[in-house]
Amino acid sequence: MRAAVLDTLGEEPVVRDHPEPGEAAGHTLVSVTAAPIVPLDQLVASGTSYFGRPVTPYVPGTQGVGVVARSDVLPAGTRVFFATSAGIGAGNGSLAQRCLVPDDAVVPLDPGVPDAAAAALGMSAVAAWMALTERGRLQPGERVLVLGAGGAVGQVAVAAAKVLGAGRVVAVCRSAAAQERARRAGADAVVLLAGDVDELTARLRDACGSSADVVVDPVFGVAATAACRVLADRGRLVNLGGAAGDLAEFSSAVLRSRTVDVLGYTNAALRPGQRRQALEAVFRHARTGRLAVAHEQVPLADARAAWRRQAAGQAGVRLVLTP
Ligand SMILES: NC(=O)c1ccc[n+]([C@@H]2O[C@H](COP(=O)([O-])OP(=O)(O)OC[C@H]3O[C@@H](n4cnc5c(N)ncnc54)[C@H](OP(=O)(O)O)[C@@H]3O)[C@@H](O)[C@H]2O)c1
């Protein structure tokens, strides 16, 4: 089969012939129809993450959409979303024509959600959903601040906050294109991520109408510092990524005086049942058009160039490979 294969950590995968996945007990063989390149894939493939150094060569791709080719738990031909631990654990990933996946990581896909749209949402959407619900404990009427709101996690966080009944949703983005994506996702106000932390704090306070109850933060750094300062009493900041850097400064006075929670979240800690439930919720709302991630389809043959664009921050939208 054809696959994007990573030979050297820190470099780009090369599209070439690769052995078929074969069979294993408790595993489903999926014919892949759409697979996104996500930041986690590139973090893992860099060999510098807290997941450790993957054994090379391997096929990257921690998630995808496809059709069951062979399975003990689902009929052949079932459309599915699947997650893999490519580069984190044993086995190859989704950037290939076929992928062998543990049975409990395969979830039947709602027929109303097209393959590429489902792949673009995937685990990025799950992270946004869980950050708002399980970790952020969002209540109807509360005000939500979404950092990195033009990215995949951010677009879903904005739209999901609306689905969950947030009273006001404020988006923080860098580029004009990202601001437009956040508006399309349903943000009530969009704040430009610029200036020093005091200026940003003032703009966030203005846009939120004094304070925010829940912050969804895939960015960290200065944006998280400013967002923490505008948390309401009993506010929750949920960090799920460090797109801007690995460190942020939080004031003890802010944390104590408002009894705020600063929380971490990772999809890696989800049990299969939790992942399935979150995916089902995401796809239910995607079918009615309420959750979406802007994306571009790219042939698997062009995986190397797509990987390079994503790594350079030039993708703009989620790139979804189609074998
Ligand atoms: N914990 C988890 O389970 C989990 C799950 C999914 C993702 N994540 C993490 O969340 C982060 C975002 O993921 P994604 O899927 O949304 O990625 P994405 O679609 O590629 O978007 C990247 C986002 O990061 C922002 N960004 C990048 N560099 C930045 C910088 N220097 N300063 C400020 N903002 C910056 C971008 O802002 P603009 O749009 O304004 O350019 C954009 O919103 C990644 O770090 C990813 O690893 C974590």
Does ligand 1 lie within 6 Å of residue 219's CB atom? yes
What single string gives the DSSP state of each residue in 94-130?
A: SSBSEEEEEGGGEEEPPTTS-HHHHHHHHHHHHHHHH
Residue nearest to atom 31 of ligand 1 (CA): 244
Task: Name the maximum alpha-carbon separation found in the chain.
Answer: 59
- Cα 113 to middle of ligand 1, angstroms: 24
Residue 89: DSSP 8-state: B
- Domain 122-267 sits in CATH 3.40.50.720: yes
CA–CA gap between residue 317 and residue 319 (Å, rounded): 6
- Cα 258 to middle of ligand 1, angstroms: 28
Does ligand 1 lie within 6 Å of residue 124's CB atom? yes
Q: Give the residue range(s) of CATH 3.90.180.10 domains in the chain.
A: 2-109+293-322
- Cα 29 to middle of ligand 1, angstroms: 30
Q: Is the peptide bond before 57 cis (omega within 30 degrees of 0)?
A: yes
pLDDT at 50: 87
Residue-wise pLDDT tens for the chain (323 aa)?
999 999 999 999 999 999 999 999 999 999 999 999 999 999 999 999 888 999 999 999 999 999 999 999 999 999 999 999 999 998 999 999 999 999 999 999 999 999 999 999 999 999 999 999 999 999 999 999 999 999 999 999 999 999 999 999 999 999 999 999 999 999 999 999 999 999 999 999 999 999 999 999 999 999 999 999 999 999 999 999 999 999 999 999 999 999 999 999 999 999 999 999 999 999 999 999 999 999 999 999 999 999 999 999 999 999 999 99
User: Pick from 154, 162, 123: which is nearest to 238 by CA?
Assistant: 154
Residue nearest to atom 20 of ligand 1 (CA): 151
- Domain 2-109+293-322 sits in CATH 1.20.140.10: no
Element (H, E) at 301: none
CA–CA gap between residue 81 and residue 223 (Å, rounded): 33
Does ligand 1 lie within 6 Å of residue 265's CB atom? yes
Residue 262 has phi, psi (to 5 degrees) of: -110, 115
Claim: this prediction has a pTM higher than 0.95:
yes
Does ligand 1 lie within 6 Å of residue 40's CB atom? yes
- Cα 244 to middle of ligand 1, angstroms: 8
Q: Which atom of ligand 1 is nearest to the CA of 148?
A: 43
pLDDT at 142: 98
Q: Give the residue range(s) of CATH 3.40.50.720 domains in the chain.
A: 122-267
Does ligand 1 lie within 6 Å of residue 167's CB atom? no
Q: Is 165 exposed, middle or buried (0-12, 13-18, 19+ CB in 10 A)?
A: exposed
Q: Which atom of ligand 1 is nearest to the CA of 173?
A: 40
What single string gives the DSSP state of each residue in 48-74?
A: -STT-PPPSSB---SEEEEEEEE-SSS
- Cα 112 to middle of ligand 1, angstroms: 27
